[in-house]
Amino acid sequence: MPATLSDIARHAGVSLATASRVLNGSNRGVTPVLRDRVLLAARELEYVPNAHAQALVKARSSMIGVIVHDVSDPYFSEIVRGIQRVVSDAGQLVMICNSYRDPARELEYLALLRSQRVQAIVMAGSGLEDAAYHQQFRNHIDSFVRAGGRAAFIGRHNISGDAVIPDNRGGAREVARVLLSFGHRRIGVISGPELITSTRDRLDGFVEGLCEAGITLPPHQIVTADFSRDGGPAATPIPPGQAPRPTPLFAPQRTMAIGALAALRARDRAVPECISLVGFDDIPMMRDLTPALSTVHVPMMALGARAIEMALDEHHTTPRVEYLPTEMILRASTALVHER
């Protein structure tokens, strides 16, 4: 049987209370000699603390809850890597929950993580522009924080609290400037669901970049689809007959851009000879595609690392919002108009 706290106290020749204080990290009323005896006994008996019992005593566990859309997506796996780099030396566990972009599932996970007395919650991914969801989301977070928990958000979630946000608007604005500098004027956009905050931020930034040059984006040149690989082909606009065709396509989400590239290839629309293509979120596979895909680099690991640093900073009580810069990465999928 595993050693218990009573075994440690008996082996070290101290009271149960003394052993408990030492093993829970408290030096209150414990001499250095007694502390060393308890720690030696714990090593000799290979004692492993009961995390559930500690959580009941402390009202909080050493676990970190992370809610992502899908950890198999390289974007979110890089964010989780950044989180784990920070907590790896702190003796904490990371519990990862995949919501698969289901608002109801996100709310269920929030309730579950609260019931598990996690120390902190990190929400990674875009927020949702929905009043009913937003109110329930806020209620969970407010209750969690009032009970002593800490929360941080990656992306815009429209809720008061620590947040680290990629400069989605700035990145999309730079895409517009680059495409215009390449001579493109008839631009198509494959956009995501309208209620997702990153969709709105990236589309707004792109439109701002066009407006700075006096160019407007007609609504019929924007096609909406799901944030998925299949969403790209479903939304890739290839007008029939003599209808005007866009010379570049901007797909402001990683998997949609990959799906769009496959759809263009299947329809014999060579990239970039017939049409240029730009994505967003520079996941590693984008540089290995044929042609390599131009995109906007988002510092995913840095987002995760900074978010968990905020969540674990118990000395800072005023909500902070930090923006991390993005960077336009030009690759072979984008060409000048006169090269066609």
The answer to whether 298 and 323 have CB atoms below 8 angstroms apart is no
Structure-block tokens of residue 276? 């240029």
pLDDT at 268: 86
pLDDT at 56: 45
Residue 237 contacts by C-beta under 8 Å, 6 or more apart in sequence?
Answer: 188, 190, 221, 223, 246, 249
pLDDT at 51: 52
| Pairing state between β 295-297 and 327-329 | antiparallel
The answer to whether 121 and 68 have CB atoms below 8 angstroms apart is no
Q: What angle do CA 281, 199, 161 make, to 5 degrees?
A: 90
- Residue 15 neighbours by CB distance under 10 Å: 11
pLDDT at 60: 52
CA distance 168 to 200: 9
Which residue stretches of the chain have pLDDT < 50?
55-59, 239-243, 339-340
pLDDT at 244: 53
